[in-house]
Amino acid sequence: MVFSSILFLFYFMPAAFLLYYLAPRPAKNATLLVLSLIFYAWGEIRYLPIMFASILVDYAASNMIERSGSHQGKRRFWLLVSVVFNLGMLGFFKYAGFFASSLNALTGLSIPVLSLTLPLGISFYTFQTMSYTIDVYRGQVKPEHNIIDFGTFVVLFPQLIAGPIVRYTDIRRELRDRRMNPDQISLGVRTFILGLASKVLIANNVGALWTETEQIGFAGLSTAQAWLAILAFSLQIYFDFSGYSLMAIGLGRMLGFEFPKNFDFPYISKSMTEFWRRWHMTLGSWFREYLYIPLGGNRRGAVRTVLNLFFVWAATGLWHGASWNFVIWGLLFFVLLMMEKGFFKSFLDHHPVWARIYMIPLIMMSWAIFAITDFSQMGVFFSRLIGGYAGSDWVYSLRNYGVTFALGILFSTPALKGALAHLERSRIASVFIYGFLTVVSVAYLVDATYNPFLYFRF
């Protein structure tokens, strides 16, 4: 069940919020836990036992860490139980087939390749629960003794499937004592509507061009059409994921939670370093806090810093998908960040025009590596992208998608942020704007058959 669906908008969400608001305060977490389990089971009931196992293992491990007191050996053992379980489940479902097929290709062996359906949200919730146990081990938080409250943290439906990656420290206070007021609920509703409109009206519309291009094939593309196609994917993945994050943050506010920001207009960045401070911010924060710093960060000399960053960016790429193109995508950013760190970033910071000339084409080309898993097809696409091929196919695309391109480019910048904030001061204007966006988004969903969500496969 996705947020941008008639089923969620008109059936699950109204029923869930009615039950939640009517539940007495002591029963709100239990109500939310049951609702979240129903939400998850709707599309993945066969993997519900994995969710229960994740709750029980991390709940038990964190409490055993506390009971172990100052006995470091026991504390490390229970931390290891949590880490091995979480990474083991993620590795088995997401990477077992990938590693087996890669090993077969390298060695000529015939290891059976498992074909498993990836449990929804496993890349997100395993990171969340693992960070919780690590924080308990570090002494940064006390373990949660109430299994209902802990289960609510793990399966909280607004952020369960696709983030933001919410750490226990982010919502620890709200799990025990949250207050809801009309202003907070109103802000949550407006945030949700902005996310819904971003997903439905921009991502879905412009993403159709990339899907059409994949179906037709890359071999006959003109160079102009190839650039329009990858621009379409660049806008689709941004508004798809940032829109879903906004919907999650809005739902969280309506429930009394304050989730961390996940996107901050990344396409206005002047460097790749800045881009990754603005794109999928909760994932970047997680890798910095739980991988880069524990590896030594930049505290052990230049060579070790480079190795640490190499490992982090390889892991970042692999987190996004079990395919070598994702690893290459991650390592591309490693190379670019090393260049910026070494000598280039100061120039970019002081020359914004050259910075954009450098950034925009590279970001778009990086999305081509991200989007195309077949290396032979990737080669074909890049040959069309840089080969100077003529053709008139781009005219059709620009005529059909030009308005959506313009809206996507405009709304990927903060140009209208101030204007929207100003209009929201008027209750009448606010009701009109958000009512209009809701009606148009729902009308599109009723009529459309194209409503993918890219990050579900990650």
- The answer as to whether 199 is a domain residue is yes
If one counts every other C-beta atom within 10 angstroms of the C-beta of residue 390, the result is 8
Domain total in the chain: 2
Section 126-136 average pLDDT: 93
- Confidence at residue 451, expressed as pLDDT on a 0 to 100 scale: 65
**Number of helical (H) and strand (E) elements in the chain, helices listed first:** 23, 0
**Burial label, 85 (beta-carbon count in 10 A; 0-12, 13-18, 19+):** buried
**Residue 383 exposure: Cα atoms within 13 Å on the Cβ side:** 10
- The answer as to whether 56 is a domain residue is yes
Do 212 and 103 share a structural domain? no
Which amino acid makes up residue 155?
V
- Confidence at residue 355, expressed as pLDDT on a 0 to 100 scale: 92
For residues 342 and 87, which has the higher predicted lDDT (pLDDT)?
A: 87
For residues 110 and 15, which has the higher predicted lDDT (pLDDT)?
A: 15
Do 215 and 126 share a structural domain? no
**Among 261-270, 404-413, 449-458, which stretch is predicted with the lowest mean pLDDT?**
449-458
Do 197 and 160 share a structural domain? no
> Per the residue annotation, which of 71, 320, 350, 422 is the catalytic one?
320
210-259 pLDDT tens trace: 999 999 999 989 999 999 999 999 999 999 999 999 999 999 999 999 99
- The answer as to whether 220 is a domain residue is yes
- Confidence at residue 366, expressed as pLDDT on a 0 to 100 scale: 96
Q: How confident is the model at residue 299 (pLDDT cuts 50, 70, 90)?
A: confident
Give how far Cα 202 sits from Cα of 206, 245, 364, 407, 410, Å. Answer: 6, 15, 17, 8, 11
Q: Which of 157, 178, 199 is the last residue of a domain?
A: 178
Do 200 and 160 share a structural domain? no
321-371 pLDDT tens trace: 889 999 999 999 999 999 998 888 888 888 989 999 999 999 999 999 999
Do 61 and 151 share a structural domain? yes
Do 252 and 364 share a structural domain? yes
Do 105 and 39 share a structural domain? yes
Q: Which of 144, 162, 178 is the last residue of a domain?
A: 178
- The answer to whether residues 275 and 420 touch, using CB atoms and an 8 Å cutoff, is no
Is 320 a residue of the active site?
yes
Do 157 and 201 share a structural domain? no
Section 172-194 average pLDDT: 91
- The answer as to whether 360 is a domain residue is yes
Do 173 and 237 share a structural domain? no
Do 276 and 172 share a structural domain? no
273-296 pLDDT tens trace: 999 999 999 999 999 999 999 999
- The answer as to whether 431 is a domain residue is yes
Domain with 284 in it = 184-457
- The answer as to whether 1 is a domain residue is no
How far does CA 284 lie from the centroid of its chain?
11
- Confidence at residue 327, expressed as pLDDT on a 0 to 100 scale: 94
Do 416 and 338 share a structural domain? yes
Q: Which of 130, 157, 178 is the last residue of a domain?
A: 178
Do 409 and 318 share a structural domain? yes
- Confidence at residue 457, expressed as pLDDT on a 0 to 100 scale: 54
Mean pLDDT (the chain, rounded): 91
